[in-house]
Amino acid sequence: MSEYHIPVLLDESVSALVGNVSGVYADATFGGGGHTAEILSRLSPDGKVLAFDRDADAIANKIDDPRLTLIHNNFRFIHNFVLYEGYRDGIDGVLADLGVSSHQFDTAGRGFSFRYDAPLDMRMNKEARTTAADIVNTGSEEYLERIFRVYGEVDGSRRMARMICAAREQSPIDTTAQLDKAIEGMLPKFAEHKFLAKVYQALRIEVNQEMKSLEKFLEGAAQSLKKGGRLVVITYHSLEDRMVKNFIRSGTVDGKAEKDLYGNVSAPLKAVNRKPVLPQESEIASNTRARSAKLRIAEKV
């Protein structure tokens, strides 16, 4: 499991999550199973874990434990499955480790990383129809500009969208190397990797509809929790962290709180930690992908 994905903020997140050792918990992002295994290690024989992942590669990491139910589906449907599994009174906690697994980044053929010349794919669910190549080759200049500006916060997103549209007129952009070539005139000296990381992040978010899935997940997680149940979320970039922070504070991902007749905010959760928990320097040294992680904890009211 560690070769597939090293779990980030493992002790901090699971310690914040598990209060009732006989309770029912959900790991919304199973991946290599690291967080799930840690949750199971802290539960009694009566405890249960529902784990979700839309990537078939992750499902192959299933842990042999009768207390675990592994669900091959998008975590946006968490509340549907909590009800389907019979937990109509709610569950005790939900954990999500957002972003891309080490396995997805490191498997060249998945097309998540500019480090490899590979098909421009980026689908977390390999059965999904739309790939990154589809978006790059068919999206309008305005559509591409919005993706790179909103999801990647890329400087010069309009110019880059124009360059991509010009390049694809000469030949389809089907691989990561072809995409890099199409925009090489924009890559800043000594910061090429940082710039490309934003470009690939933007495409990945659009391919997998990550922001909409996160919004639906947060709503479903809040509905699924018992009173006093915990929501524990690890984020890796400002877009998703802002959505999680807003939802905890106001009950909506855009931060526009719904209020009752007396002006009171009717958010379903309250923050347990005002500031996010960050990884220790020792964890970052052993796992560089932890460096941007932030842990937010909330409780159902």
pLDDT digits (tens, 9 = 90+) for 223-251: 999 999 999 999 999 999 999 999 999 99
Tell me which residue of 79, 7, 4 sits closest to 287, measured CA to CA: 7
The pLDDT tens digits for 44-68 are: 999 999 999 998 888 999 999 999 9
Q: Are 122 and 111 in contact (CB under 8 A)?
A: yes
How much of the chain is in helix, strand and coil states, percent to nearest 5?
45, 15, 40
Average pLDDT over residues 132-153: 97
How far apart, in whole angstroms, are the C-alpha atoms of residue 52 and residue 70? 6
Which residues have C-beta within 8 Å of that of residue 282, sequence separation ≥ 6? Answer: none
Number of continuous H segments (helices) and E segments (strands) in the chain: 13, 7
**Run of H or E including 229:** strand 225-235
How far apart, in whole angstroms, are the C-alpha atoms of residue 242 and residue 254? 8
Mean pLDDT of all residues belonging to the chain: 92
Residue 2 pLDDT exceeds 60: no
Angle at 233 between CA 228 and CA 237, to 5 degrees: 150
pTM above 0.85, yes or no: yes
Residue 109 pLDDT exceeds 70: no
Average pLDDT over residues 129-135: 96
Confidence band for 108, pLDDT divided at 50, 70 and 90? low
How far apart, in whole angstroms, are the C-alpha atoms of residue 37 and residue 195? 36
Q: Which two tokens stand for residue 59?
A: 């499902």
Which residues have C-beta within 8 Å of that of residue 194, sequence separation ≥ 6? Answer: none
- Name the CA radius of gyration of the chain, rounded: 20
Upper half-sphere CA count for residue 126 (Cβ side, 13 Å): 11
Residue in the block written with tokens 């295994």? 37
